[in-house]
Amino acid sequence: MELINVTWSTLIWWNAGNLSLDIENAIKCIHCHKWIETQPLHFLKINSNEVNIFLKCKLCKESFIWYARVIPWYHDKYRINSFSKWTWEIKEFSDIINDLSESFVSIYWEAEIAENEDLLEICWVWYRKSLEFLIKDFLIKNNPEDEEKIKNKFLWKCIEEYIDNKKIKEMAKRAVWLWNDETHYIRKWENKDLNDLKRMIDITVHYIIMEIESDSIIEDMN
């Protein structure tokens, strides 16, 4: 293993002794998920075509590995092929949502991981499932006497029969529309995609937080 002593510059060739690497894109740390300037530490030639490069993030100080392969028309220049395994960045939710529905949060995180792994058909299902847990846990909180009814009703029926807040109702309905559309062979909402579904869930979360906080203040100052 040979020590790399090099001044780093992104988006250009850099040389480290007998190693040159082509960097086409800015680098995102697999640990802190920030766009970074990395610090090359060591590299190890596996064979004539492959090299492993050990790097350190200058922000979080964690290290990771680049796996690079030789560029076919050069013999001494390499291009990044892959990174060591990512720790996926996941969405943070407020204490209000965590207290309201731990199941929503955990299912949403699983959907995010599936999306990051490019399992796009699967993540549609899990984002939709997370929405159902969020809505039903919200309704059970407000209607504890109907808990069993809410658990057993279709999500669409729950939205129609129990939600009075117009913004929550209309946003949740459209999220269900979009997911149902995705399950059909021919789609109606062709200009909408997974990002729109996630945005609708985010807005639903926002209005639920506002309603819970508003109710808490009103009760406290009654």
Higher pLDDT residue, 7 or 195? 195
pLDDT, tens digit, 9 for 90 and up, residues 175-204:
988 877 766 556 676 778 889 999 999 999
The predicted pLDDT at position 58 comes to 79
> 55: pLDDT confidence band, cut at 50, 70 and 90?
confident
- How is residue 162 written in tokens? 């129990």
pLDDT, tens digit, 9 for 90 and up, residues 36-49:
666 666 667 677 77
Distance CA 77, CA 189 (A): 46
The burial of 172, by beta-carbon neighbours within 10 Å (0-12 exposed, 13-18 middle, 19 or more buried), is given as buried
Judge if pTM exceeds 0.75: no
The predicted pLDDT at position 2 comes to 31
Write the CB contacts of 81 (distance below 8 Å, at least 6 apart in sequence). Answer: 67, 68, 69
> 211: pLDDT confidence band, cut at 50, 70 and 90?
very high
Distance CA 126, CA 184 (A): 17
In total, the chain counts a number of residues equal to 222
pLDDT, tens digit, 9 for 90 and up, residues 131-142:
999 999 999 999
